[in-house]
Chains A and B, each alone.
Chain A
């Protein structure tokens, strides 16, 4: 069975709490806050103002430039503010606040459940529709999908890889989506193949989801879809773009600024592919997504179809509330998610789950001295030396860090996870990486020819 070549760890996936729970729609929130920066790149520009009436699916913020994404209203109602609001990290961020009045959709959106397979659009038209729908990578990276699909000159896409790995422990939103909306997913794959003009499409699924593999294979055979469903050996971080490409094609994406397209691959998340299907065939913009709410002490873990902008507290409530005492509420899974301080903060396009940790799980282990066991080196999927780069970052030796390839780090957290001494390796590596990237950018700016 295929997997990526270097490093990796095996955290207990803890998906059992929520993977059997079918997707259910969460009640519509009375008020939503929609951040203008929900994607990598420039924040969108608001096109509505306080007092405006909006319909569900109406454009409320427009992409600012190419590397940006549209944002649509997830509910119908009145815009009550376009102002700074607290985000999950307690920092202020520009958001559009909408008060709900009913749920009236834009008329052009096809809300029927019927699967439309026919697609005769040209690649450029498909990409335009995806761009209009404001679709971004829903696995967490939130890279605008239309940018990914626009293959630069001189490159050719050979593989379309659908990321159904969901290697992040706890989360099951992709799992349920692939299981319950398999046919839409497969149509989405066909549309993406058409947009990219590729022959080969592979859906990578880790073999801890045998139900998904079986159901997708069955649906692909019945519907005559030309797509390979590839089971992968369970290993974190297989869902990392570079790791997934290496696992499936055996090709390694070169270090930054190398991109997947340089080895002929385009990777698209499974939920994103379903969203692409909806955007192209049903004219439905990205206004809702499946969010897993789970945790050891959560009474009713669920997979909830949630409108964007819904406060996280609503989901927590639906799942039976937070456990008592010390809790850590994380936007995302345990390996790469971000801890939240403010539960009023909204669900965004990249929020695939909310995982809750309580008691001793909420705390880090007490760090002790490095025993140079080399487990971090063995675990690093980018074959870096975390023990070394974290030490260099602590000592602020930026040039050495650059020589040690710190910018290759994908911040997967394997090193810190595996460290028996409980050292916060990634904290230092992350900071070192940010500083070194800043230095590299500054140097590039200084060396750029002045006009």
Chain B
């Protein structure tokens, strides 16, 4: 009996002693935190994708609570809605940002961009890009080893095994920008997200001269400038041999799509304009020559190198 009693006593004493010690230690090392941080963190999506620039949602929540002006902070995943909710909870002004979607700007599918060699090294875009041109002759195109896929936390980007090019699932994409950072060729861009995933963009970033681009890839932008000429909204710029459509200025009028001789301008979520442009264009001087069909005939395009195309456009402007 005494054994039992003493055991119970010792153990209870030990327990109480430990509890007291733990209590004081907990008091001493208590970290005072703004309870709102927890709340804000709950309102964030919790993906910890790093799209906001912080390591995780906790860091973002910290910053949202700490800063009075939160206009520079934006969660691309939660989007405007989440930001509005958080702002109203904290009594701050929510930043306005329109939705965006990651866009892979390369149309060099296997059929249009012949493989010239086989890469036998580690399957990583960063490594292949640091070493050489890639499996095709185009030094600017998608390598297809999927660094972007690795970077994506939302399973929104995949490399299509048939085309060898990364493709974005616009429904899943949160525009966090991780793939943009991961792509060593800087092919992926965050572009304005239209309803129904409509989009018009130049699916090529090749800075090579037209003839060189043409040789490497039949879907490349040769920088001929026809698209820029028909654009009524000044949305298209030709820089170092490649056209770029500013998604902020573009109104999805689709005129440029029909102009492109190589089919480098991609149209998504909409039907193309009728092939014979009947509606009077914004510019009265309609192209004198027969407009190129969007279904580009490669043979035609090869016969007409970029230089010639450029000269033509200059002449027409006169």
Contacts and interface: CB of A to CB of B under 8 A. Distances in A.
Contacts of A364: 120-121
B126 interface: yes
A64 interface: no
Contacts of B117: 90, 341
A341 B120 CA distance: 12
Interface in A291-334: 326, 328
B139 interface: yes
Interface stretch (B36-44, B63-71, B130-138): B130-138
B120 A91 contact: no
B12 interface: no
A424 B122 contact: yes
A434 interface: yes
Chain A contact residues (Cβ within 8 angstroms of B): what range?
A: 10 to 19
Nearest to B212: A92
Contacts of B127: 427, 430-431
B193 to A, nearest CB: 29
B240 to A, nearest CB: 13
A341 B121 contact: no
Contact of A434 (B130, B132, B133, B134): B130
Contacts, number: 41
B197 interface: no
Interface string A72-93: 0000000000000000011110
Contact of B120 (A89, A363, A430, A434): A363
A341 B132 contact: yes
A4 interface: no
B139 A341 contact: no
Interface residues of B, number: 17
Contact of A90 (B116, B118, B130): B116
Among A326, A338, A424, the most chain B Cβ lie within 10 Å of the Cβ of A424
B130 A341 contact: no
Given A341-B116, A427-B127, A431-B126, A89 B121 contact: no
Contacts of A90: 116-117, 132-134, 137, 139
A387 interface: no
A428 interface: yes
A424 B137 contact: no
Interface in B188-245: 208
B66 to A, nearest CB: 25
A409 B122 CA distance: 19
Interface string A89-110: 1111000000000000000000
Interface string B101-145: 000000000000000111011101011001111100101000000
A294 B120 CA distance: 21
Interface in A336-356: 338-339, 341
Nearest to A91: B133
A89 B122 contact: no
A334 to B, nearest CB: 14
A338 B133 CA distance: 13
B230 to A, nearest CB: 31
Contacts of B130: 430-431, 434
Contacts of A92: 139, 208
Contacts of B124: 427, 431
Contacts of B134: 90
B131 A424 contact: no
A87 to B, nearest CB: 9
Contact of B131 (A89, A363, A428): A89
Most chain B C-beta atoms within 10 Å of own C-beta, residue among A326, A338, A363, A427: A427
Contacts of A363: 120
A424 B121 contact: yes
Contacts of A328: 120
B121 A91 contact: no
Contacts of A339: 132
B132 A91 contact: yes
A341 B208 CA distance: 18
Contacts of B116: 90, 341
A272 B139 CA distance: 34
A434 B184 CA distance: 14
A427 B121 contact: yes
Contacts of B137: 90
Interface of B: 116-118, 120-122, 124, 126-127, 130-134, 137, 139, 208
The 10 closest A-B pairs by CB, nearest first: A90-B133, A89-B132, A427-B122, A424-B122, A341-B117, A91-B133, A364-B120, A427-B127, A431-B127, A90-B132
21 contacts: A89-B132, A89-B133, A90-B116, A90-B117, A90-B132, A90-B139, A91-B132, A92-B139, A92-B208, A326-B118, A328-B120, A341-B133, A362-B120, A364-B121, A424-B122, A427-B121, A427-B122, A428-B122, A430-B130, A431-B127, A431-B130
Interface of A: 89-92, 326, 328, 338-339, 341, 362-364, 424, 427-428, 430-431, 434
Given A91-B133, A338-B131, A430-B127, 5 more contacts: A89-B132, A90-B116, A90-B139, A428-B122, A431-B126
